[in-house]
Amino acid sequence: MLNQQLVLYTEENGIAKITLNRPEALNALNRDVLEQLSSILDRIKTDPSVKAVILTGAGEKAFSAGADIQFLNKATPLEVREFAQLAVTVTNQIETLGKVVVAAINGFALGGGLELAESCALRISATHARLGHPEVRIGAVAGFGGTTRLPRLIGKGRATELLLTGNAISAEEAHRIGLVNRVVEHDQVLAEAERLIQEILSQSPIAVKLTWEAIHRGCNLTLEESALLGADYFGLVASTEDFREGTASFLEKTQPSFKGR
């Protein structure tokens, strides 16, 4: 673990845990936080020992309450734009990491904090968490990718309501509309995230990676193009040992042993 850092990092049994570490500020995002997070993500992307990632916040109150308002209030328009561009880079890093990232939402996930979670493959939320995009309430726009990813996650109509009203919703409502995948008690959020990751890691690593890539890339294509991309990946994965192992195990009614090659 990196001591006295705004972003903490640990790794155990192939699962990395990244913790936003400004609990006194509800893990608000400033340039230093985003730069440290970006650096860690760069390391993880090229580290073969890391198979999956959990992203969470320090303390019991917040995953992240969003961008640091004190900074925004004093920054020039150019500084705000550069800050948002850095945040967009980080969310793209998360989404294209090549490894499953699960957001363990341990409290408030608002504004830029929710945008970090939206860029993850999956989201686990504590029952007491509140999620929302309050940007319009301070005269701002969800500029870290929220106007792009939220409609893709929950549909244009629901996303528009959340983005235009600035209302925060409960974890249960977030689950009902598909914004989070599972809701558990606060003390079970990390454990549930790890259980979900272990379930995913029991599958073929190559199939998991290509499936997530097909989902991510396919969202930006037409229906036909996306389906053809899936067909291409289906053909690609057929060249792997895992594909032969998986199909043979199905026919023989045995448990497959995937090797990731």
SS3 45: helix
Do the beta carbons of residue 23 and residue 17 sit within 8 Å? no
How far apart are alpha carbons 49 and 211 in whole angstroms? 20
Q: Which residue intervals of the chain are DSSP H helices?
A: 31-45, 69-74, 77-95, 112-118, 146-154, 156-165, 171-176, 189-201, 205-218, 223-237, 241-252
Catalytic residue, chosen from 12, 24, 115, 213, is 115
| Number of neighbouring beta carbons within 10 Å of residue 195 | 14
Residue 236 gets the label, from left (phi > 0), alpha (psi -120 to 50) or beta, of: alpha
Catalytic residue, chosen from 12, 35, 135, 172, is 135
- Measured N-to-C along each axis, helices 205-218 and 241-252 cross at an angle, to the nearest 10 degrees, of 110
Which residue is listed with tokens 């919703």? Answer: 169
Q: Counting Cβ atoms within 10 Å, is residue 38 exposed (0-12), middle (13-18) or buried (19+)? A: middle
Whether residue 185 lies in the annotated active site: no
Whether residue 115 lies in the annotated active site: yes
What are the residue numbers of the active site? Answer: 115, 135
